[in-house]
């Protein structure tokens, strides 16, 4: 366990959330003092969190979360996570880590390279950037400031669970998210399985990839 400094809650405010498909829920947004990376991360408290709340670490994705880009699955994952967490009781940590931590401009540069045939990780490497630059120290600080030291993690990404455990947060169960495929993101999802061992059904993604390539050709 790493010795991380404590963060404190800065403010809490009630916000009614409304999504494009008509789903609505009331949430409490929490801001913090003392986060290790100095970013303005936000906790979204939903439902009535119990002793083992359902938690998602959701990295900011302007293109997917706001503009509905079909090149990733971030927007649908955010929408799904809010409803599932509200039903169970828990927290969504909205982390300002655009493009797996490389930033918006670099992410768009990587998109341009993907259009030339590279996958998402190869594109990062070609730009001299890490496959995944995210660090979840601030997330662990936020959870402790909320009084959460044990949780179920809503994620397909094993690295999130491993990092939280290394930071002293008990992850009892890793709960998979849904699979949100489009013709534009299936190669991206398949690369996440093959490169970073995301728990997605590879056989299904391979089949969709083949159908997409057949349609394009």
pLDDT, tens only, 86-129? 999 999 999 999 999 999 999 999 999 999 988 888 889 999 99
The DSSP bridge partners found for residue 46 are 27, 90
- Assign 205 a pLDDT band (cuts: 50, 70, 90): very low
134 is catalytic: yes
96 is catalytic: no
Please determine, for residue 215, whether its predicted confidence score (pLDDT) is greater than 60: no
Q: What is the pLDDT of residues 23-38, one digit of tens each?
A: 999 999 999 999 999 9
Please determine, for residue 213, whether its predicted confidence score (pLDDT) is greater than 50: no
Please determine, for residue 211, whether its predicted confidence score (pLDDT) is greater than 80: no
Strands 150-154 and 90-95 turn out to be unpaired
Sheet containing strand 170-175, strands side by side: 8-18, 24-33, 42-46, 90-95, 54-59, 150-154, 170-175
Which of 103, 133, 131 has the alpha carbon at shortest distance from 188?
131
Alpha-carbon distances, residue 185 vs 83, 120, 175, 204 (angstroms): 23, 10, 22, 13
pLDDT value of residue 77: 94
pLDDT value of residue 197: 54
Which one of 56, 84, 100, 134 is the catalytic residue?
A: 134
60-74, 139-153, 187-201: range with lowest mean pLDDT: 187-201
Which one of 56, 132, 187, 190 is the catalytic residue?
A: 132
Q: What is the pLDDT of residues 153-188, one digit of tens each?
A: 999 888 999 999 999 999 999 999 887 777 776 765
- For 8-97+134-180, give the CATH class: alpha beta
Q: Where are the domains of the chain?
A: 8-97+134-180, 181-217
The DSSP bridge partners found for residue 9 are 32
């Amino acid at each position: 366990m790493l010795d991380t400094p404590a963060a404190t809650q800065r403010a809490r405010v009630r916000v009614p959330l409304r999504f494009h498909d008509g789903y609505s829920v009331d949430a409490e947004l929490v801001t913090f003092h003392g986060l290790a990376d100095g970013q303005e991360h936000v906790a979204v408290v939903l439902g009535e969190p119990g002793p083992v709340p359902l938690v998602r670490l959701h990295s900011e994705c302007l293109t997917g979360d706001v503009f509905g880009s079909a090149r990733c699955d971030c927007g649908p994952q955010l929408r799904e996570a809010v409803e599932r967490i509200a039903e169970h009781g828990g927290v969504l940590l909205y982390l300002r880590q655009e493009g797996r931590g490389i930033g918006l401009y670099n992410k768009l540069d990587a998109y341009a390279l993907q259009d030339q045939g590279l996958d998402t990780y190869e594109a990062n490497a070609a730009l001299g950037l890490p496959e995944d630059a995210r660090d979840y120290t601030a997330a662990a600080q936020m959870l402790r400031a909320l009084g959460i030291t044990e949780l179920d993690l809503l994620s397909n990404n094993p690295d999130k669970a491993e990092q939280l455990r290394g930071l002293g947060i008990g992850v009892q169960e890793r709960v998979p998210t849904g699979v949100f495929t489009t013709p534009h993101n299936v190669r991206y999802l398949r690369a996440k399985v093959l490169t970073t061992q995301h728990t997605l059904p590879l056989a299904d993604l391979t089949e969709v990839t083949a159908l997409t390539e057949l349609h394009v050709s």
